[in-house]
A and B are shown apart, each in its own frame.
Chain A
Amino acid sequence: MSVIFRLEAPYRGEYNLHRLTFGGSGAAAVAIVAGLHGNEVNGIQSLNLVAQMLRVMRPKRPVHLLPCVNTIGAEEARKRWPFDDRDINEAFPGDHEGAAVERIAAAVMDATEADLCIDVHSGSTAIREHPHARVPLSGPELEHARAMRLPVVWRRAGGRYEGGLVGAWRGAGREALQVRGGRGLALDMDDATTLARGLVRLLAHLGIIGPQEPGVTVVDTERVQDYRSMSGGFFVPEVHTGERVVAGKLLGMVRSPLGGDPIEDIRAARAGVVLAARVYPMVHAQELVVRVAEDPS
């Protein structure tokens, strides 16, 4: 592990950006980043699992891992950079002479020079997400995502990645995609392990390491339906992430938080797999409560 960027951090010495590199010399084949958001610990865990596997697998080409970019945010259980509450993921492509988050962003860009770049995230603190890859409708990133064999591949129309690290990577001409799983502020071991296995499968697919155990993608789709609460209340889920649902299935109920009177039942419009489910029950009107990745028609 090496420190590839340092920044004076008043009262606490330095901020250090760490990178682990596995494999031989030459240009890196893959760079994987987690922890841009300090409270998304599933990404950190998934990269640590990947590191454990790579230590014994002898990659044929270099693989860079940045397990936790926002270390100070992680220490304080905060999504954003604590000093000025800025989101590092909104500071890309960064600026070597700019504010702290912009310098960190620029350093991440420099440290991830590779053929393929992957950004690992979790859901928000209120939403748990089933492990999945978010990719364009076509192109090499879609093939990479399919090679991971994560439970869900979400193909999304262009323009959805204009900002953030993935957008900056693509702007720099690199192949890039995002994978997500679990929720913020909590370690969901199953999700972190699933993400790690998917990342290792991709490395095997690229010929960087030997063959890996197969995985199963349940849904590969463009059709993802958000279900939102019509009004504020207390959301009681009836499904969990990864659960297969049929049309009409009760996804959850919105109840009065004071007395439990029924307000709304939310049912699936079509069949699919629960891609995200709310874990913090207090909901405002029109907040996301369940997301279903629908079976392709």
Chain B
Amino acid sequence: MTLSKRIYTGLLLAVGLWCLAIVAAPVLQVYGGMPGQTIAAALYLGFARICHQIDGRSLHVFSEKFGVCIRCTSIYFSFFVGLVAFPFIRGHKAQTIPDRRWLIVGIVPMVLDAFLNDSGIHQSGDTTRVLTGSIAGFVLALYVLPLFIEALTQLSSHRNRQGDSRYAGQTQ
């Protein structure tokens, strides 16, 4: 397995676990017993650092809310979908970073939806939250993945070069 494939797999697993934790929080809360409820409390506490977790703005399973709100859930799950889709859309070897205009196109609808809702100009519903959040997450995945692979590949090659020069210094 090449280094870029290993990085890709690692990131996919990490984001997959993150998404699993979002869904696991309510499931463990209901069916986990005492240890499960402790883990669920820890998950809710951790996610509280990054999301408002308002009940009325969250998806529910077994009458318990997800770890994060509906907009954040859409972002993280579509980020995961974006990672899965990446090899089919751009290929494993596509290390070129998409144009920054795509990033703006992806994020602006979500920012507008949140801003206009909070300022009372437009009423955003679950549909707009899911839609704009999903677009943002998907675009972010396509944008961040090549950068992440490139960065870790560079770090690895720097480390190898340092190791080589240290080895050469010792043998001289």
Specify whether A and B are partners: no
